[in-house]
Amino acid sequence: MTVGLRLSSLIVILSKEALSMQKPRLMTPGPAPVPEDVLLAMAQPVIHHRSAEAKQNIVESVAGLKQVFKTENEIFILTASGTGAMEAAAVNTVPKGGKALVLNAGWFSARWGKVCQAYGIEAVMLDTEWGQPVDPTRVANALSEHPDTACVMGTLSETSTGTGHPVEAIGKVVAKTDAVFAVDGISGIGAMECHTDAWGIDLLCVGSQKALMLPPGLAFVSVSQKAWKKIDAFDSPSFYFNLKTARKKMVEFDTPYTPAHTLIIGLKVALNRILAEGVENVWARHKRMSDACQAGVQALGLALFSARPAEGLTAFVVPEGVKDSAIRNKLQEKFGIYTVGGQDKLKGKIVRIGHMGYTDELDVISGLAALEMVMAEVGYPVQPGIAVTAAQRVLLSPYKTI
């Protein structure tokens, strides 16, 4: 009897073990997978954040970030999630009662408006239908209508819709005005081509947990000379996200408050990976993964949600008669694959598959194979192999360099 009980509990333990053998596969557009060498670098004893070693890590990280962001501007490392960088950009460049133009085309760009509201900044919302790219001509028109705009707030990759916006063209428009251009590049940087200086981005806001291959907890903001003029013209109400305070400390490669130094150690390793592969090659790899994923999804008869897809994720429309949660839950239960659904008004309407950072073409192929099986299981007509074949065709084509 006792032996029997023991055996049955052993079986329970064993089956739990068996379940945990399933690899968790983050195919979410943040957080994204973190490479083993980055994880190991962070598993070291904590060092003091004012030590020479800690400062050296900041020196090297900032140098690496400059190469990845394609900027000569100063970069600040903030201990926050990506939104902290957005808040820093807004609250330091636009005084209370000042005006911002928000290129509102999704859940994350709408967040710019919410940040403005919190600080008494007047946000003029230039609305674009979700899934469509922002039209630079409309930005030009809005700026002539609102010549007192201090900051234009846009997005490189709108993660809620899977859309890449024409930041280069918008940057040209903004550069002709007195306004500065703040760009949320949180899910775009490291996944999509972006030239901060050449494209006229005055404040580039980035977070650690997307294509930069780190856990959440760090935010980065680059600041141009044009932006410093705005920043120096008034006293920002922010204490923690005050860029003037950060600039004073950065002179000696320090931060005003204790940074998440363990993450900075990981950052150094993650940036070295990107630089070793080559920034342009990283962009090209993402373009290929994105093309392959889109081809696979479309071969299944599923429609892409975005008219101008971003390269770190693919968003597809949930077909009639199928529940998005059924697709996502089955992907997770059967294959350990985590994906996300839609936010706000897109809840239940789309599924978003992340393929950014520490992700390769084979991850996309296996993700598509799993999607085929899961779609068949939820009653959607699937010809096995059809998505995989379409993706392979893309991957068999010559490598396009950037």
Ligand X SMILES: *Cc1c(COP(=O)(O)O)cnc(C)c1O
- Give contact residues for ligand X (rule: CB under 6 A): 30, 81-83, 108, 155, 157, 159, 184, 186-187, 207, 216
Closest CA to 107 of 348, 351, 344: 344
CB of 112 to ligand X, least distance (A): 9
Q: Which is nearer to ligand X, 79 or 83 (CB)?
A: 83
Closer of 81 and 132 to ligand X (Cβ): 81
Phi, then psi, of 337 in degrees rounded to 5: -90, 120
Residue 388: name the closest of 292, 313, 311, 309 by CA: 292
Helix (H) or strand (E) holding 126: strand 122-127
d(CA 220, CA 218): 7
Helix and strand numbers (H, E) in the chain are 14, 13
Three-state SS annotation for 54-109 = HHHHHHHHHHHHHHHHCCCCEEEEEECCHHHHHHHHHHHHCCCCCEEEEEECCHHH
Residue 33 or residue 207: which is nearer to ligand X going by CB? 207
In whole angstroms, give the CA distance from residue 328 to residue 318.
11
Q: How far is the CB of 159 from ligand X (least distance, A)?
A: 3
95 versus 106: smaller Cβ distance to ligand X:
106
Q: Which is nearer to ligand X, 216 or 319 (CB)?
A: 216
d(CA 344, CA 368): 26
**Minimum distance, C-beta of residue 184 to ligand X, in the bound complex (Å):** 5
Judged by CB, which is closer to ligand X: 90, or 387? 90
Q: How far is the CB of 161 from ligand X (least distance, A)?
A: 10
| Three-state secondary structure call for residue 192 | strand
**Nearest distance from residue 209's CB to ligand X, in Å?**
6
CB of 186 to ligand X, least distance (A): 4
